[in-house]
Amino acid sequence: MRNETSKKCPLYQWIPDSLSHEVREVIDRLAQTEDVQHIAIMPDVHLANEACIGTVIATESLLLPGAIGSDIGCGMAAIQLRAGEDLLKDPRNSDLMLKELRKKIPTMRHCRDNMIPVPEFPHQAHLSCLELDKSYERDGKLEFGTLGTGNHFLEIQVDEPGNLWLMVHSGSRGMGNFIRTHHLKSIRKTKTGFQVLDAKALEGRAFLQDVQWALLYAQANREAIIQAVCQIFLEFFGVETCPESYRDCHHNSVVQETHFGKDFWVHRKGAVRAHKGLPGIIPGSMGTASYLTIGRGCPEALCSSSHGAGRKLSRTEARRRISQNAFQKSMEHVWFERRFISKLLDEAPQAYKDIQAVMRAQKDLVKIETRLRPLLNSKGVI
């Protein structure tokens, strides 16, 4: 951990290597932005639009939509299966799983005849305007229970005792982006270039209302995907789950929390809440280990941890530098749809940081509870 107090606010970082000039420039601008009171940089930090992924910031009165990202509520869920690794050693079983996953969990949308009903959210959780309600009716209902593209995934993993686990990475799908785009209409730009809303103003309250809705939608989306995959295991293999093992965590959010005796709006973009005793999930790449964690509640980190390994190469750079042969060799121990190799080059393990180095860098933020090794990976491909 290193404290680099800027002219404006304390800045702490937990990083396995030095920051690039580009990342440093974005963080320096963020530190100079009005009302930013505290910044914590996670070990998976890397460039993104506006604020970097792997950044946690605290403000008192302003909201920064760019410090959350467009996939509001994106996160992870995991559950243990009552089965061992031998189940997937038979190639026929692995092929069947990939086929059924592709069929039951679409990448983008369900057809209207095969929609998964969206659960009723709490009465107080509803969208702030008719425009967003229409987006939900048109797109949100069809996208519910779908995976998405990019780094979203479904993975069957095994822990060190040999138990199978199911892990999913997905979020609020198109609804998060609809919400962000809608609220950009009423946003103002700071001198440092970051866009903000006043949390107490009508526009800020509406944004927070829609963020809360998106968090609930994203969590329910992951649960629906988990249930659909568990049904495949039950139907084809007679395998049940361990309900008590289920855990879920967001890594793109803004919530009000108390730190250092004061209330702040804590923005996490590619970062997980890691309050003391709180379960978390930190995935690696599609070819490396993932971790179930317990938060240590580190105050300087605003009780946060990384959300994954973090990109080492941009998508463009990964497609240019990583060969299909190198990618396939790094995935020899993982079952995946090799017909999509050319489309998945930007998700190759070589495109990501060393997850073990990332975990070492944040040993003060989380305790490792379980290490999971990937056996089968399914990604959304179009």
Name the nearest CA neighbour of 376 among 44, 62, 81. 81
Which residue type sits at 80? Q
N residues, the chain: 382
Backbone phi, psi, residue 24, to 5°: -60, -40
Say how far apart CA 275 and CA 296 lie, in whole Å.
Answer: 6
Say how far apart CA 135 and CA 238 lie, in whole Å.
Answer: 39
138: DSSP letter = I
Pairing of strands 11-13, 36-46: parallel
Say how far apart CA 106 and CA 378 lie, in whole Å.
Answer: 11
Name the nearest CA neighbour of 136 among 248, 222, 216. 216
- Which residue shows structure tokens 């996160």? 75
Q: Which of 182, 250, 251, 307 is catalytic?
A: 307
Say how far apart CA 293 and CA 169 lie, in whole Å.
Answer: 16
Say how far apart CA 110 and CA 143 lie, in whole Å.
Answer: 6
86 contact partners, CB below 8 Å, separation of at least 6: none
To the query of whether residue 307 is one of the catalytic residues in this protein, the response is yes
Please, what sign has the CA dihedral across residues 327, 328, 334, 335? positive
Say how far apart CA 59 and CA 36 lie, in whole Å.
Answer: 5
CB 78 within 8 Å of CB 281: yes
How many degrees, rounded to 5, is the angle at CA 38 between CA 37 and CA 39?
135
- 343: enclosing H helix or E strand: helix 341-344
Name the nearest CA neighbour of 9 among 49, 43, 36. 36
Say how far apart CA 4 and CA 11 lie, in whole Å.
Answer: 5
Give the SS3 label for residue 37: strand
134 contact partners, CB below 8 Å, separation of at least 6: none
List, by residue number, the catalytic residues: 307
